[in-house]
Every structure is written in structure tokens, then in C-alpha cells.
Chain A
Amino acid sequence: MSLQSVAIDVLAQADPEVLDPKQGQNEAAASGAGLAYGLAAIGPALGIGYIVGQAIQAMARQPESASQVQTTMFLGIAFTEALALIGFVIAILLKFV
């Protein structure tokens, strides 16, 4: 718990004594960015879990085709992961543009 609060303190951008007129806008952008990334990560997280689970099942059923399944699994992960990564990029864009 204390570790978390320290981490939040470390990551907090602004010093409370410095009153920046753009501060409110920055904070809104930062929370928007965090929300964007959090939402963008939900779907791909489920998708990647499903892909890996199915791949493990396939490999357990047919260990001799494990390498083929693994390659296909990485392909599927790469395509699914792209959505989360686009969310990450959008988050950074929100924060800096």
C-alpha cells in the first residue's frame, strides 16, 4: 500500500507549490491518456489470453506440431497486441499534443 502511494508520488508530475495555468489541462490530458490506455488494453488482454490458452491446448494435444502452433500463436499475438499498442500510442499523443 505504502509502496503504491510512493509510486504515485514519484510519478506525479506537478509540484503543488508551482501554479501552472496549463496545469488543469495537463491533468485532464494525463487522466484521459491513462483512461484511453486502460480501456484499450482490456480487449487485447482477453484476446491474447484466449490465443495462448488455445495454443497450449493445441500443443498439448499434438506435441509434434508444437513449432507450427507456436509460430501461428506469435502471429496471432502480434495482430491482437497491435490494438493495445495503438491505445498506448494514442495515450502518449493525448498527453503531448
Chain B
Amino acid sequence: MLALEFPPIENLVEWPAYFGDGEFFAFNKIALISVLAVVIPTVLFLLAKKEMVPRGLQNICESAIEFVENQVIMSAIGPEGLKYLPMLLSMFLFVFFGNIFEVIPTFQMPANARMANPLVLALITWATFIYVGFKHHGIGYLKEVMVPPGVPKALLPVVIPIEFLSTFLLRPFGLAVRLFANLLAGHILLVTFGVLCIAVWRLDAMAILVPFSFATLVALTGFEVMVSFIQAFVFALLTAVYINSSIHTH
């Protein structure tokens, strides 16, 4: 009875290359969004005037900087974490602009709904917190991580592998999967309701239901804007928390 099928999921998230198809530098929509996620903040930050009394665009840029400073760094690390501001700010901006293309017409695709960008960012976080750990504790960092204080000696053979796995494997994995799955789920949700709108529209008798499904679609779009922001915040915050756990072990 229906003429419309739900599209296979590959069609929702896989994009043909604009050039370099099959090569390692194949440039598709995801890569284009990644490039835009660099260009847009750069242009915004360059266009903003640097005046004593901030107005307009300068306010937006400064509130982004202060948000990362106060809500991410100060609450997770403290004043000594301020030297990681460029890292965390660029992570926040890159993730946020990669996400927000989910609701921008003609793009309608979050770059982070593909595993690539979250995995790259999670690997960078992973490398960063391990580097910070070795810088602050030397080789003793491994012992600090894997041997929690107050654990009986008999339990150490169990605790050490668990701590090793949870710190060095589950952290980056969880970080990447959290961002990726959130955005993929949001994207599928929006696509589902978009397809539902079209399907209901085509059924003459059911066309009366279009306003409901469309209203849900609009509400979900607003929800996804919020998710885009929160996931960017959470990604930067977790990176800060991991860096903090490397500075202050236990």
C-alpha cells in the first residue's frame, strides 16, 4: 500500500566523493563540512573587532572563549589548565560546527555522524592525556594509573588490567562512540520524521496527519540544535576531565 520505503542507512550517511574517489584524500560532503568547521570559526574570529567594549560578533566570540574557560577548564581542571585553552577551544568549535550542519538546510548532515571525525578527535585527546600524564609523573604515570591507592595486594592482578583497559582503551572508545552515536541517532531521527512527512502526504486519506508529523520534525530539529551544543560541550569537558586525571592522579 505504500510507495515509499525507508532508505537504507548507507544512503543516509555515505556521500559520494567530489574528487579523488577511492584515494585516501577522497573529498566528500563530510570533508567539506570539516573544512567549513574550520573556515567558519576562523572567519568569525577574524571579522570580530577587538575593542575595549565588545559589541555584536565580538560578544559571540568572547562568550565562546569564556564558556570554554569557565565551564570546561575552570570546573574540570582549575587555573593550571588554562594553557590547554587553544586545544579545548578548537575542539569545542570543531565539534560544534561539525554538529550544527545537521540542521542547516542543503547540508542536513552532521560531520560527526560518521565515525571518522570523532575517532580522530578521541585519538588526539588520548594522545594528549597520556602525554600530560608522562610529563607530570614521568614513567610513574603508568603505576599511578593502574594501581589505585588502598587496593589489597591480592586484588592487584584483577585491578591492573581493568584500570589499564578502562583508561587506555575505553576512554577514547567511549569518547568517540558517544559523539558519533548521538549525532547518528539524531540524524536518523530527523530522517525518519522527514520520510514520515512525505509518506503521510502521499496517502490522501492520511494527509490530515501531516501537521503532527511536521510539528514533531520541527521540535526534533530544535532538540538536535541543543544536542549539537551539549555534545560539543561534553566532548571538551571530558577531554578536560581526562587531562585533569593525568595531572592529579587519584
Contacts and interface: CB of A to CB of B under 8 A. Distances in A.
Q: Do A and B interact directly, with beta carbons closer than 8 Å?
A: yes
Interface of A: 2-3, 6-7, 9-13, 15, 67-68, 71, 74-75, 77-79, 81-82, 85-86, 88-89, 92, 95-96
Contacts of A71: 71, 75-76, 237
Nearest to A70: B71
B230 A85 contact: no
A82 B174 contact: yes
Contact of A10 (B71, B199, B212, B233): B199
Given A10-B6, A85-B182, A78 B234 contact: yes
Contacts of A3: 200, 209, 212-213
Contact of B199 (A6, A15, A81, A88): A6
B181 A6 contact: no
A11 B6 contact: yes
A92 B200 CA distance: 26
B1 interface: yes
Contacts of B178: 78, 81-82, 85
B43 interface: no
A73 B120 CA distance: 26
Given A2-B206, A71-B75, A85-B177, A10 B4 contact: yes
**Nearest 5 pairs between A and B by C-beta?**
A85-B181, A10-B199, A71-B75, A78-B234, A11-B6
A85 B113 CA distance: 13
B9 A92 contact: yes
Contact of A6 (B180, B206, B233, B237): B206
A86 B177 contact: yes
A65 B241 CA distance: 19
B6 A6 contact: no
A82 B180 CA distance: 11
A9 B76 contact: no
Contacts of A79: 174
B175 to A, nearest CB: 9
Given A10-B4, A85-B185, A86-B181, 17 more contacts: A2-B209, A3-B200, A6-B203, A9-B2, A10-B199, A11-B6, A12-B5, A12-B6, A67-B71, A68-B75, A75-B237, A78-B237, A85-B177, A86-B177, A89-B177, A89-B180, A95-B9
B100 interface: no
B243 interface: no
A11 B196 CA distance: 9
Contacts of B6: 10-13
B5 A13 contact: yes
Interface string B180-210: 1110110000001001100110010010010
B1 A9 contact: yes
B238 interface: yes
A10 B7 CA distance: 10
30 contacts: A3-B212, A3-B213, A6-B199, A9-B1, A9-B2, A9-B199, A10-B2, A10-B4, A10-B5, A10-B195, A11-B6, A11-B192, A12-B5, A13-B5, A13-B6, A15-B5, A67-B71, A68-B75, A71-B75, A74-B230, A75-B241, A78-B178, A78-B234, A78-B237, A78-B238, A82-B178, A85-B181, A86-B181, A88-B181, A92-B9
